[in-house]
Structures are given as structure tokens and as C-alpha cells.
Amino acid sequence: MYGELLKIVGAPGFESRNPVELYQERLGDCLVQLGRYAEAEPVALSSYRALEAKLGREDARTREALASVVELYRAWGRPREAARGSAPAAAAGAR
């Protein structure tokens, strides 16, 4: 369902008060709840990076996206990445 929503909010001419990456972050949260961690990781990381670039690191929505990334790693049993809280920055450097 969120995949369909992303198609709609990303369509040309659609105007939303929220960046599309915010919806993408919600999709990542859903995937985490379903235990689909490998699928959630790229979604969560890309939404965090995009929100950070668009809104800045201190924006509440960016911080929420980072919290979602940390929660993903906790749920996935990857405490090192969760504890660092800098997994998105490290992953971005590896691109």
C-alpha cells in the first residue's frame, strides 16, 4: 500500500506539504514491523539522506528518520550500527 502511495505522491503535478521521502520513511517503518529488515535498510537510509539534504540535520523530520534507522538496526540485531547512530553517514560514504 505504501508503495502505491509513493507512486502517487511522487507523480508530476502532485503537491504535498511533506517531502516524498517522509512517506518513504514510513514505508521503511512498516517493513521493519514486518521483519523485512534487508528490504527496509535501503529505504530507511535513502529517506534519511534525502531528508538531511533537503531539510538539514536538525529538522524534526530528519531526526525522526534517523531514529527509524536506529530502530531498524536494533530490531535487526545489529546493535553496533544502532549505537553509533551514524550508520547512514557511514553508508553514504561507502557509495
Q: Express each pLDDT in 25-38 by its tens digit.
A: 999 999 999 999 99
Query: For the whole model, what pTM was predicted?
Result: 0.75
Distance CA 57, CA 38 (A): 25
CB-CB contact of 85 with 46 (8 Å): no
Of all residues in the chain, what percent carry a pLDDT higher than 90? 56
Residue 93 C-alpha cell reads as 560514504
Q: Where are the domains of the chain?
A: 2-93
Distance CA 18, CA 85 (A): 24
Task: Indicate if the pLDDT at residue 91 is higher than 60.
Answer: no
H or E segment at 20?
helix 20-33
For residue 68, what pLDDT is reported? 94
Distance CA 40, CA 24 (A): 10
For residue 20, what pLDDT is reported? 81
For residue 18, what pLDDT is reported? 73
